[in-house]
Amino acid sequence: MTTLRAFTCDDMFKFNNVNLDPLTETYGLSFYMQYLAHWPEYFQVAESPTGEIMGYIMGKAEGHGDKWHGHVTALTVAPDYRRLGIAAELMSWLEDISEKKRAYFVDLFVRVSNTVAITMYKRLGYIVYRTVLEYYSGSPDEDAYDMRKALSRDVHGKSVIPLKQAVRPEDVDNY
């Protein structure tokens, strides 16, 4: 049985089985601590009955006015626990938090090559809002999809009307 619980500082010493994946962005400890300090309600762990971390989600609330939204910074599930619905459960949890904060939408960025994740997000109701050119660094750099899902506050779905043009990473904050 999977347990969802708040992420703690100690979890940073136990999540290598989740982060050691080529499609998972791994950050420095100070980055995780910043999120935990500023948005603890957006940082959740899926834990197995034996105490192993199965996956986690990390996000935040940001924006102003009708751009106020929940953002998924990281969502990852350890390979041994994939295809069990854990990612969908974590996403639902983050969407519920964003609803409580009266956000208009939830957004996230995903590598254009990560077709498994893109398919899952689409099944959860997300749309490709725009492409962000060379968002992920590497050899070569890779584009990202900015995917969004409208929440109940966005009655008319204005936040998820796809943009037709691609943007540069420095223009991402210009919603």
CA–CA distance, 59 with 71 (Å, rounded to integer): 5
CA–CA distance, 78 with 145 (Å, rounded to integer): 22
pLDDT digits (tens, 9 = 90+) for 41-63: 999 999 999 999 999 999 999 99
Peptide bond preceding 140: is omega within 30 degrees of 0, i.e. cis?
A: yes
CATH number of the domain to which 20 belongs: 3.40.630.30
Q: Print the domain residue range for 52.
A: 3-171
pLDDT digits (tens, 9 = 90+) for 135-148: 988 878 899 999 99
Q: How many domains does the chain have?
A: 1
pTM equals 0.91
